[in-house]
A and B are shown apart, each in its own frame.
Chain A
Amino acid sequence: MSGGVDSSVAAALLVEQGHDVIGLSMQLYDQSEGQTSFGSCCSIDDLHDARRVAAAIRIPHYIMNFERQFNEQVVSNFVAEYTAGRTPLPCARCNSDLKFATLAERAQGFGADAVATGHYARVFRDGRTGRYLLRRGADLSKDQAYFLFSLTQEQLASAVFPVGDRPKESVRDYARARNLPVADKPDSQEICFVPDNDYASFIRHRAPEAIQPGAIVAQDGTVLGTHAGIHRFTIGQRKGLGLTSSPTHAPMYVLALKPADGHVVVGPKMALERTTLTAAQVNWVMAKPTGDRRIVAQIRHRHQAAPATVRALEGERAELVFDTPQVAITPGQAAVFFDGDAVVGGGWIE
């Protein structure tokens, strides 16, 4: 229970369905003095909201301290990815490595059969294959299946998403109708541990030694300017390059980040387009395909999934070929493969 409306309603729905529910919240970072500038979720106010909701629906509620685990499994990876020139996806790491791992294991210790969250996604069991499948949430504008692609079969088997088959507005209506104190709380939009969504200063604070200024170069190697560290950039970025002029007077975009020589490679929008990618640490939610499989693939949270062909490679990797070029395929983000609204699998873009 994050203290938001979705997990609050998820808990309330389960209570209404007659389940024996225990509310768990995770304290993810130091809430002591001087640390109050942390981001938008799981703050001390949110934990307070979660407690109020638990009291309202009459379930026991516990705040578990996962500061160390969150730091080791999510924040460190986030910092390392940015300083290595990739753009991380911490929410997916948090789901598979913390919520449905450490937290789920603790819940099992309390006799829980399942772990429910407020994600907009759906799990069902395929009667034919016996596999647990993951589908997009009914409210496609809020769908979070993309962030859950790395859940294993074992994790999916005990995962429950009570709001996954509802539109967001009905979730809010439900909370209002039951006077849950979070009914009109705004959705969180940012990465919870980054204050004011300011990645650059967060990374600088966490890993000052990893930050090296470098050159902004064109595709042919011409130096166009300088930058204060590659952690400030992501593929497809246009703003904040600080270039006074570009050779063609056309807008310039970040095409690639080269941590080895500290180069930020820029070029015209056209050069951002690619049709192929490879993904690592691929998790197959449906059966691993033996040959080419037609799918639609999503390469970031707000990306319209595009038709592609995927093929499994050696070593838990996969190769993906889109039918049409896609803009800004970004290392560190997830490529998630769908069959209709069901997740086939996904992996981390290399």
Chain B
Amino acid sequence: MRVYFDYNATTPLAPVALEAVVRATRDLFGNPSSVHHFGQQAKAALDDARSAVAALINADPSEVIFTSGGTEADNFAIRGAAEALEATGRRHLVASAIEHEAVLNTLRALGRRGWRTTLVAVDQSGIVSPERIREAMAPDTALVSVMHANNEIGTIQPIAAIAAIAHEGGALMHTDAVQSAGKIPIDVRALQVDLLAMSAHKLNGPKGAGVLWVKRGTRMQPLLTGGKHERNRRAGTENVAAIAGMGAASLLAAQKMDLETPRISALRNRLEEAITARVPGTVVNGARGERVPNTTNISFDRVEAESLLIALDLEGIAVSTGSACSSGTLEPSHVLRAMGFPAHRTQNSLRFSLGLFSTDEEVDRVIEVIPRLVQKLRGLTSRTGGRPPSSSRSDDEHGGREDTDPS
């Protein structure tokens, strides 16, 4: 039996999404920009998908711009807004320190080109404080970017309150909603944002499609230049099949959310409670209240998360430590670091993220396997004096104290 608990990395395709991808690939080969019948058929599929995505986030379909995925959507939001506002003299960008790399590295790239950036740290709740955002604002802040739900710990951010602060300062508000779309209700009007990024493959759609929602009237510089696709905002022939799949997945997510949210959160809670009860030295990272229903992030004292992840995979259980770097290896979580946890805590944490196809049997299997693996790995580290030190307790850590390694 293989267990897949890594839905925040990517999700399996929903059957309806697969069907839409297959149908579009087979039957809708026309270029959506073409005048003829074939083009019209493809264009109709795009429009259907646009309406489905818009309905999921209470937006107008004309505000939905398809991209190649969440990373492009974040790039477009930040670069497009920053460049459009450059002429106004606004050269400052604000974001939380727990953003996805798609946001953080885009800010760094702009930083090298003269924009000033301020990253706002969070406390151990993993929730961004609107007050900290207010302190970070400058008279020339162009854009504030704070993710809707964090990918590693699942915490939901107070976007509406932060957006109000951004707007008070005359700045635009972007939110990366890649990890919340399809998991919790999203209403772009209630969130009061100007820009919102989504990805198809995080909500049981295919890879290769994403959306940037741009509030009507927002001035944006296109990222890609070329033909007049997507209302002149994103050039390039649309990936019709992937977009059709995203539309079908969005429709399904909207339909099933009321049933799925309690089901998945019950599975997640049972998993989390069993692990923390049966494995000594475990603690859940981040506030447990304000979270997407599918995610839990747990620290295992005196265990290398990297080793536990591999040991679990060899038992057929797929989980994650957070973000993987380009070579596929594991790096200490920048999210847990930004939350002020000491170095070893950032290296002994695993993320379990559930979803559409998760079952009670999968939860049972993980609960059965994990205590044995943790015990085995702890036996090895204590024998050779490996890190992290046995003296550190996981419940008394505060601040950014660096770990000293006895090995």
With an 8 A cutoff between CB atoms, is B391 at the interface?
A: no
A166 proximity list for chain B (CB < 8 A): none
Select one of A63, A106, A110 contacting B327, CB under 8 A.
A63
Stretch at the interface among B37-45, B127-135, B310-318: B310-318
With an 8 A cutoff between CB atoms, is A315 at the interface?
A: no
Inter-chain contact B310/A27, CB cutoff 8 Å? no
Interface size (B, Cβ < 8 Å)?
20
Stretch at the interface among B198-206, B207-215, B376-384: B376-384
With an 8 A cutoff between CB atoms, is B331 at the interface?
A: yes
Inter-chain contact B325/A110, CB cutoff 8 Å? no
Report B362-391 residues with CB < 8 Å from chain A CB: 376-377, 380-381, 384, 386
Inter-chain contact A60/B386, CB cutoff 8 Å? no
With an 8 A cutoff between CB atoms, is A247 at the interface?
A: no
Q: In the bound complex, how far is the Cα of B316 from the Cα of A342, in angstroms? A: 42
A179 proximity list for chain B (CB < 8 A): none
Select one of A31, A51, A62, A102 contacting B310, CB under 8 A.
A62
Q: Mark A46-68, 1 if CB is under 8 A from B, else 0.
A: 01100100000000101111000
Q: In the bound complex, how far is the Cα of B57 from the Cα of A221, in angstroms? A: 83
Which of chain A's residues has its CB closest to B387's CB?
A68
Select one of A22, A31, A101 contacting B326, CB under 8 A.
A31
If A32-B325, A63-B328, A63-B329 touch, whether A109 touches B377 (CB-CB below 8 Å) is yes
Inter-chain contact B331/A65, CB cutoff 8 Å? yes
Inter-chain contact B314/A64, CB cutoff 8 Å? no
Inter-chain contact A22/B307, CB cutoff 8 Å? no
Select one of B328, B331, B376 contacting A109, CB under 8 A.
B376
Inter-chain contact A47/B328, CB cutoff 8 Å? yes
Q: In the bound complex, how far is the Cα of B310 from the Cα of A60, in angstroms? A: 10
With an 8 A cutoff between CB atoms, is B22 at the interface?
A: no
CB distance from B132 to the nearest CB of A (A): 27
Inter-chain contact A64/B306, CB cutoff 8 Å? yes
Most interface-central of A60, A65, A109 (chain B CB within 10 A): A109
Inter-chain contact B329/A105, CB cutoff 8 Å? no
Inter-chain contact A31/B377, CB cutoff 8 Å? no
With an 8 A cutoff between CB atoms, is B55 at the interface?
A: no
Inter-chain contact B327/A31, CB cutoff 8 Å? yes
Inter-chain contact A44/B384, CB cutoff 8 Å? no
Q: In the bound complex, how far is the Cα of B380 from the Cα of A2, in angstroms? A: 24
Which of chain A's residues has its CB closest to B324's CB?
A63
Select one of B310, B314, B327, B386 contacting A105, CB under 8 A.
B386
B164 proximity list for chain A (CB < 8 A): none
Q: In the bound complex, how far is the Cα of B140 from the Cα of A22, in angstroms? A: 54
With an 8 A cutoff between CB atoms, is B284 at the interface?
A: no
Which of chain B's residues has its CB closest to A51's CB?
B328
A324 proximity list for chain B (CB < 8 A): none
With an 8 A cutoff between CB atoms, is B330 at the interface?
A: yes
Report B324-367 residues with CB < 8 Å from chain A CB: 325-331
CB distance from B110 to the nearest CB of A (A): 15
Report A157-188 residues with CB < 8 Å from chain B CB: none
CB distance from B307 to the nearest CB of A (A): 5
Most interface-central of B310, B311, B377 (chain A CB within 10 A): B310
Report A5-43 residues with CB < 8 Å from chain B CB: 22, 27, 31-32
Inter-chain contact A111/B330, CB cutoff 8 Å? no
Inter-chain contact B386/A31, CB cutoff 8 Å? no
Q: In the bound complex, how far is the Cα of B393 from the Cα of A131, in angstroms? A: 41
Most interface-central of B314, B377, B381, B386 (chain A CB within 10 A): B314
Q: Mark B103-132, 1 if CB is under 8 A from A, else 0.
A: 000000000000000000000000000000
Inter-chain contact B328/A105, CB cutoff 8 Å? no
With an 8 A cutoff between CB atoms, is A108 at the interface?
A: yes
Q: In the bound complex, how far is the Cα of B306 from the Cα of A111, in angstroms? A: 15
A105 proximity list for chain B (CB < 8 A): 380-381, 384, 386
CB distance from A24 to the nearest CB of B (A): 8
Q: Mark A242-258, 1 if CB is under 8 A from B, else 0.
A: 00000000000000000
Q: In the bound complex, how far is the Cα of B327 from the Cα of A47, in angstroms? A: 7
Q: In the bound complex, how far is the Cα of B330 from the Cα of A65, in angstroms? A: 6
Which of chain B's residues has its CB closest to A102's CB?
B386
B304 proximity list for chain A (CB < 8 A): 106
Q: Mark A71-90, 1 if CB is under 8 A from B, else 0.
A: 00000000000000000000
Most interface-central of A62, A64, A111 (chain B CB within 10 A): A62
Select one of A47, A60, A101 contacting B314, CB under 8 A.
A60
If A105-B380, A106-B307 touch, whether A27 touches B314 (CB-CB below 8 Å) is no
If A109-B377, A110-B314 touch, whether A31 touches B325 (CB-CB below 8 Å) is yes
B311 proximity list for chain A (CB < 8 A): 109-111
Q: In the bound complex, how far is the Cα of B307 from the Cα of A44, in angstroms? A: 21
Q: In the bound complex, how far is the Cα of B325 from the Cα of A47, in angstroms? A: 13
Which of chain A's residues has its CB closest to B310's CB?
A62
Q: In the bound complex, how far is the Cα of B386 from the Cα of A102, in angstroms? A: 8
Inter-chain contact A109/B327, CB cutoff 8 Å? no
Inter-chain contact A60/B326, CB cutoff 8 Å? no
B313 proximity list for chain A (CB < 8 A): 60, 62
Which of chain B's residues has its CB closest to A32's CB?
B325
B310 proximity list for chain A (CB < 8 A): 62, 64, 106, 110
B380 proximity list for chain A (CB < 8 A): 105-106, 108-109
Q: In the bound complex, how far is the Cα of B306 from the Cα of A106, in angstroms? A: 10
Q: Mark A93-105, 1 if CB is under 8 A from B, else 0.
A: 0000000011001
CB distance from A11 to the nearest CB of B (A): 16
If A44-B326, A44-B327, A109-B377 touch, whether A65 touches B306 (CB-CB below 8 Å) is yes
CB distance from B386 to the nearest CB of A (A): 7
Q: In the bound complex, how far is the Cα of B324 from the Cα of A47, in angstroms? A: 14
Which of chain A's residues has its CB closest to B304's CB?
A106
A31 proximity list for chain B (CB < 8 A): 325-327, 329
Other 5 A-B pairs with CB < 8 A, given A22-B314, A48-B327, A109-B376: A32-B326, A44-B326, A106-B307, A106-B380, A110-B311
Chosen A-B contacts, 7 in total, with CB atoms closer than 8 Å, are A60-B313, A62-B313, A63-B328, A101-B384, A105-B384, A106-B310, A109-B307
